[in-house]
């Protein structure tokens, strides 16, 4: 059965430093997608970054990068040069299949990141 | 702004009542998803519609139902509400293609008193 595990309930990082949020996943489907979302205290869910299981390169979006290690089934989010506005809950999610038929997301429990000035 | 619109933002109601949550997807997105976020269950998939037809079902209670209309907006109906139904309900939409990135609305916060 598909599963997402985020083992860090909470993390602190100093402003302007980099931080890595851990995510491991489990699936028997060779095709899948991995996602990270940010949920600020206001409650909305903001899409950050996507990695397909067949993508050769690690995904990057601005200050966000996804450290994809397929053999270890991990998809860690790296945020470079942390900003105060990065303080939020971060969710890792997975979708089985290529996505061309849609597909539900399975979420981890989340990691609450606090950025210190 | 994700382009997905959910109304209302907040809803306060009593046990036993029925409510309707509304979602307008991003322009061009044919897939709509509903998720429930609660403290004890986390984020759970409820149901997916694609171009008006139900595509997948998750842990959706029988008291809950949804539909997607010809203009692609969707409604989630929650009936015989219980205290435990209090949660944040999200709608997301996507283009069902490679990747299938789901963009979420701001959510409807339901409080059942």
Question: Given an 8 Å threshold on Cβ–Cβ distance, is A100 in contact with B98?
Answer: yes
Minimum Cα–Cα distance from A36: chain B residue: B101
Question: Given an 8 Å threshold on Cβ–Cβ distance, is A107 in contact with B97?
Answer: no
pLDDT at A102 > cutoff 90: no
pLDDT at A9 > cutoff 80: yes
Which is more confidently placed, A103 or B107? B107
pLDDT band at A96 (very low <50, low <70, confident <90, very high): confident
Two tokens, residue A38: 């940010």
Rounded distance between C-alpha atoms, residue B106 and residue B90, angstroms:
7
Residue A46 main-chain phi, psi, to 5 deg: -110, 125
Kindly report, residue by residue over A41-69, the tens digit of the pLDDT. 999 999 999 999 999 999 999 999 999 99
Residue numbers of chain B with a pLDDT score lower than 70: 98
Residue A36's pLDDT is 98
Q: What is the rounded average pLDDT for all residues in chain A?
A: 94
pLDDT at A98 > cutoff 80: no
3-state helix, strand, coil in chain A (%, to 5): 5, 55, 45
């Amino acid at each position: 059965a598909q599963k997402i595990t985020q083992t860090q309930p909470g993390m602190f990082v100093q402003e302007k430093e980099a931080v890595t949020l851990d995510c491991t996943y489990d699936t028997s489907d060779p095709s899948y997608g991995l996602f990270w979302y940010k949920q600020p205290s206001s409650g909305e869910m903001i899409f950050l970054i996507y990695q397909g299981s067949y993508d050769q390169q690690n995904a990057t979006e601005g200050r966000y990068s996804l450290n994809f290690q397929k053999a270890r089934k991990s998809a860690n989010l790296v945020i470079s040069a942390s900003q105060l506005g990065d303080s939020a809950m971060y969710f890792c999610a997975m979708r089985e299949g290529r996505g061309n038929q849609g597909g539900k997301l399975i979420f981890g429990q989340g990691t609450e990141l606090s950025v210190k000035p | 702004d994700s382009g997905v619109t959910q109304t209302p933002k907040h809803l306060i109601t009593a046990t036993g009542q029925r409510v309707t949550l509304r979602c307008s997807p991003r322009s061009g997105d044919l897939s709509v998803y509903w998720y429930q976020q609660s403290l004890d269950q986390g984020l759970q998939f409820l149901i997916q519609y694609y171009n008006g037809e139900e595509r997948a079902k998750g842990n959706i209670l029988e008291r809950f139902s949804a539909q997607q209309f010809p203009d692609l907006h969707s409604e989630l109906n929650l009936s015989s509400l219980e205290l435990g139904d209090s949660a944040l309900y999200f709608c997301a939409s996507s283009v069902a293609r490679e990747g299938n990135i789901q963009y979420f609305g701001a959510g409807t916060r339901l409080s059942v008193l």
